[in-house]
Structure 1
Amino acid sequence: MRHRLPAARFETPPRRSVTLEEVAADFDVILLDAYNVLNVGETPIPGAAARIAALRAAGRAVMVVSNAAGYPKPVMMARYAQPGFDFARREVVTSRKALLTHLDGHAPRRWGTMLDRTHGLEDFGARDITILGDDPASYANAEGLLLIGSGLWNATRQRLLEEALARHPRPVLVGNPDIVAPREGGLSQEPCHYEHRLADRTGITPVFLGKPFRGIYEIALSRLPAPCPPGRALMVGDTLHTDILGGRHMGFAAALVPVSARSSGLMWRRPSPGPRSCPTSSSSGSESTAADHAAASPAGHRPLQLA
């Protein structure tokens, strides 16, 4: 899957810190992943809300940047409000918003959609959306595919999707580039797990909307009250190929939040001294993925205790 991911540069060795507050003073904006940073599944991480309040009191802008595309914005805001997070709507950016923004520039078409409709589709407006299930006709009739939420997806539906696209290639938009996500009972398989299989078997190149790709970060930065140089932003998350790779692709510092039996705290990298520009795949210097640097991070993960 490497060739489908953006490039990034890791010029400096990582540093280890115990808490986020130890490094926050170097940054104006803190971008937080949600899963395994604020919550695990539906369960909030104790102390996270108080830690965010402390960051704000210290003058830091705090935003959530999440690949939780399966939830409409009102549902996301309610989930955060219940355990005491006081995020404003503009401070929460999900890959669902990145997908909807992309669709605004797309010609209307019939979209076959991987999604659990439980939480509603109101934010999709008048778009022609069909939830894909076990009827082969829905796959054949779709003019494009949206991969958003995989909670009800299974091997039969994956086979129907692959066969339909092999017969008739169509655009595929991925609204959640996560491969897995932490839940209370373990890891769930997310849309990108199925998409990479799909791309390998059909040769179709998808469009990704969400971390580690640029669009979701640009939406987040556009909501800040003032421009933020890339080197003054810190992306905090638990996943190398989305949070860390995406943050470094944008030129941000990036903090991994692993906790293992051997060590705890943040593993973080900041941009090397020099111009604050966002690297691209044509940039000179060492290019690599976050996975290439996994050996620098402690093995084994559990939720970051922000308190």
Structure 2
Amino acid sequence: MSVAIDPAQALAEYQRLRPRLPDCDKLGHGTEAARFLDIVAPYELILFDAYGVLNVGETAIKGAAQTIAALREMGKSVMVVSNSAAYPKAHMMDRYARLGFDFAADEVVTSREALLHRVATEPARRWGVMLNPDKDMGEIARLGATVLADDPAVYDRAEGFLLVGADGWTEARQALLEASLKRQPRPVFVGNPDLVAPREDGLSLEPGWFAHRLIDTTGVAVHFCGKPFPDIFDLALARAKPVDPSRVLMVGDTLHTDILGGAQAGFATALVTGHGSLLGLEVAAAIQGSGIAPDHIVTEI
């Protein structure tokens, strides 16, 4: 869902929600570097956020694919760890190939996969899904899920809710979901905890934004399955070669998801400032105000 929200508003909302995010006492020194490749020597495994680091919307960030290639030549392992949940994995892989990246399927870990992994441990339910009705549900269809549109009865029949994609979500649908949960609380799982994502025309609102509104208005319990929460990092490490967490670098554009999440997992962190959620803001002030400090700061990879 695209609306007029700027990076300062997004940062303020993340900070308001800080008590709901993981605790982490690990603080970096915020050392600035002119070139991303100059900071990678100590690390064996490098995890990349996607939006704001590799791409903005459907556009690759200049030089990002070349940096991935250079890291491979240096013998580094690379993975994408993305809070992208609205599309099946095959769609994601097609996108990366189209944008010039050579990631293998097991090098891409998404919050959608973390969500599916978590839901597999739950009792079978009739799920209602936040997703554009025009999109392919992919693997989610096998869960006996129904896309939430404009029929209140569909909301009330659902035995639980999966928030995976906010494209096409409306204020009317949000109101239907809130009203249904007030009448009867049910489990809510969020496949994309991001509040916003950088697109070509600005920031879009993501499922995390609407999930926190549910908490505000209904008090319902919500389980988040992506950054900064542990599920997605556990899934990434399970796929990677064994590595000490101190030898892992998490690279992202958002303090409250990428940097906080990487730090709570015991990783080093690098904040990318040139294209994503902090674009146009005073980065030092954002770090100081949030209390979330990366180990490294770079403009781009």
> Shorter-chain-normalised TM-score: which range?
0.7 to 0.9
CA RMSD of aligned residues (A): 2.5
Question: Which residue matches 1:223?
Answer: 239
Deviation at 1:30, TM superposition (A): 0.4
Matched, 1:56 2:78: no
Q: 1:12 to 1:42 in 2, by over 3 A?
A: closer
Change (3 A) 1:106 1:295: closer
Alignment of 1:227-242 (within 5 A): 227-242=242-257
Amino acid aligned to 2:232 = I
1:70-219 equivalences under 5 Å are 70-124=86-140, 126-219=142-235
1:251 maps onto 2:250 in alignment: no
Query: Aligned partners of 2:98, 2:52: CA distance in 1, in Å?
Result: 17
Q: Secondary structure at the match of 1:255?
A: strand
Indicate the SS of the match to 1:140.
Answer: helix
How far residue 95 of structure 1 moved from its aligned partner, in angstroms, is 0.3
How many Å separate the matches in 2 of 1:262 and 1:175? 28
CA distance in 1, matches of 2:295, 2:43: 23
Q: In structure 1, how many angstroms separate the alpha carbons of the residues matched to 2:236 and 2:291?
A: 27
Aligned counterpart, 1:36:
52
- Whole-angstrom distance in 2 between the partners of 1:129 and 1:258: 38
Q: Please report the TM-score for the alignment, with normalisation by the length of structure 1.
A: 0.85
Q: Hey, what does 2:291 align to over in structure 1?
A: 292
Which residue identity is paired with 2:103?
F
* Distance change >3 Å, CA 201–CA 256, structure 1 → 2: same
Q: Deviations over 1:201-228 (max 9, x none)?
A: 111120000100111111111111x311
Q: Say if 1:8 and 1:289, in contact at 8 Å, map to a contact too.
A: no
Indicate which of 16, 21, 27 corresponds to 2:37.
21
Instruction: Give 1:261 shift.
Output: 7.2
**Contact persistence 2:84–2:110 (CA under 8 A):** yes
Give me the identity figure in percent: 51
**CA distance 1:12–1:256, change in 2 (3 Å):** closer
Q: Distance in 2 between matches of 1:111 and 1:290?
A: 39
Contact preservation (8 Å) 2:31, 2:295:
no
User: Which position in structure 1 is the counterpart of 2:5?
Assistant: none
Distance 1:89 1:263, change over 3 A: same
Q: Kindly indicate whether the alpha-carbon contact (under 8 Å) linking 1:93 and 1:216 is maintained by their aligned counterparts in 2.
A: yes
* 1:153 to partner: Cα distance: 0.8
Q: What's the CA shift for 1:263?
A: 9.2
Q: Which residue of 1 aligns with 2:7?
A: none
State the number of aligned residues. Answer: 279
1:262 is displaced (CA, Å) by 9.6
Question: Are the structure 2 counterparts of residues 38 and 128 from structure 1 closer, same or farther at C-alpha, using a change threshold of 3 Å?
Answer: same
Instruction: Report if aligned partners of 2:166, 2:207 keep a CA contact under 8 Å in 1.
Output: yes
Point out the structure with the larger helix share.
2
Between the aligned partners of 2:242 and 2:117, the Cα distance in structure 1 is 21
Q: Post-superposition shift, 1:122?
A: 2.5
AA matched with 1:236: V
Cα deviation, residue 8, structure 1: 1.1
Distance (whole Å) between structure 1 residues aligned to residue 114 and residue 183 of structure 2: 29
Contact kept, 8 Å, 1:114 with 1:150, in 2: the verdict is yes
